[in-house]
Amino acid sequence: MIPKHASALLISDLHLTPSMPLTAQRFFDFCEKDAPQVEAVFILGDLFEYWVGDDASSQSPFQQEVKNALAKLASKTKTYYLHGNRDFLIGSNYLKRTGMSLLPDPCVAEIAGTQYLLSHGDSLCTADVGYQLFRTWVRKPWVQKLFLSLPLTWRRSIANQLRSNSHAQYQRSVNSSARHQQIKTDVTKTACAAVLRAQSVDKLIHGHTHLPGHHQEQLGEQSWQRWVLSDWDLDHTPGARARANALLINAQGVYAVDLLKS
């Protein structure tokens, strides 16, 4: 069943973690002040820096604070969630405790009378063949079941190692061709065209790439619009500026909202 709402806010890639308190506080404020002004909120993945199982959240005061904020939000505004590449292990227990509704990736939602295809976006980065192979394996149910059966300390160790590898890969990319790296880590027109064609939609919204913007694109005779959501960082990672955006859709149109100014 396609979600239908007159207005919505869409966010992604907050990467919430205790080490980024300003970003977390802006999310808490978003849940309290901004989100209740619309009919629905769509969180398109990577709400958390990483997720090693629903059982881990119960042992973290920070995770409990996030859970309470989400539950309060969901009690006032319909709240949807898509898995990201960092938190695809969020399970039914956590969803039940927060009141969020899980959506498949990709999925179609109708907002203000217009249909949009929603995705986290990592599945559309098909130029990164190595990542797509990794993604295929870690999304297999039996692999996830095996991982979640490991002791919590092991799971956290594995997650931290994967994060370290990701950071090292990023540092190597800084010294490589910027153009080549952007092509590899961005979505491809071929992937976007295929998923939009399969869903008979011509408007796509996704996150993941940390390259916010609005694009009018075409491949052959097929054309579409694509909105990319911003990541959030108010704690100033090295070389980055503070940012926290949302996409607002209502009867008046589609707008990027700078949450640093609201």
Percentage above 70 pLDDT, the chain = 90
Q: Give the whole-angstrom CA distance, residue 103 versus residue 119.
A: 9
Number of compact structural domains in the chain: 1
6, 73, 179, 218 from 39: Cα distances, Å: 7, 11, 40, 32
Report the CATH number that the domain containing residue 106 is assigned in CATH: 3.60.21.50
Q: Which two tokens stand for residue 123?
A: 């599945």
Q: Are 226 and 8 in contact (CB under 8 A)?
A: no
Q: Give the whole-angstrom CA distance, residue 114 versus residue 108.
A: 10
Kindly state whether residue 182 falls inside one of the protein's structural domains.
Answer: no
Three-state DSSP class for 213? strand
Mean pLDDT in residue range 128-142: 93
Domain that holds residue 23: 4-126+187-258
Mean pLDDT in residue range 3-14: 97
Query: 56, 61, 122, 62: which is closest to 93 by C-alpha?
Result: 56
Kindly state whether residue 231 falls inside one of the protein's structural domains.
Answer: yes
Kindly state whether residue 163 falls inside one of the protein's structural domains.
Answer: no
Kindly state whether residue 72 falls inside one of the protein's structural domains.
Answer: yes
Kindly state whether residue 153 falls inside one of the protein's structural domains.
Answer: no
Q: What is the pLDDT of residues 196-244, one digit of tens each?
A: 999 999 999 999 999 999 999 999 999 999 999 999 999 976 667 889 9
Kindly state whether residue 214 falls inside one of the protein's structural domains.
Answer: yes
Mean pLDDT in residue range 88-115: 96
Tell me, what's the pLDDT at 239?
64
Kindly state whether residue 41 falls inside one of the protein's structural domains.
Answer: yes
Q: At what angle do helices 21-29 and 61-76 cross, to 10 degrees?
A: 20
Asked if residue 106 has a cis previous peptide bond (ω within 30° of 0), the answer is yes
Tell me, what's the pLDDT at 160?
86
Mean pLDDT, rounded, of the chain: 91
Kindly state whether residue 177 falls inside one of the protein's structural domains.
Answer: no
Q: What is the pLDDT of residues 153-183, one digit of tens each?
A: 999 999 888 877 665 554 455 455 455 555 5
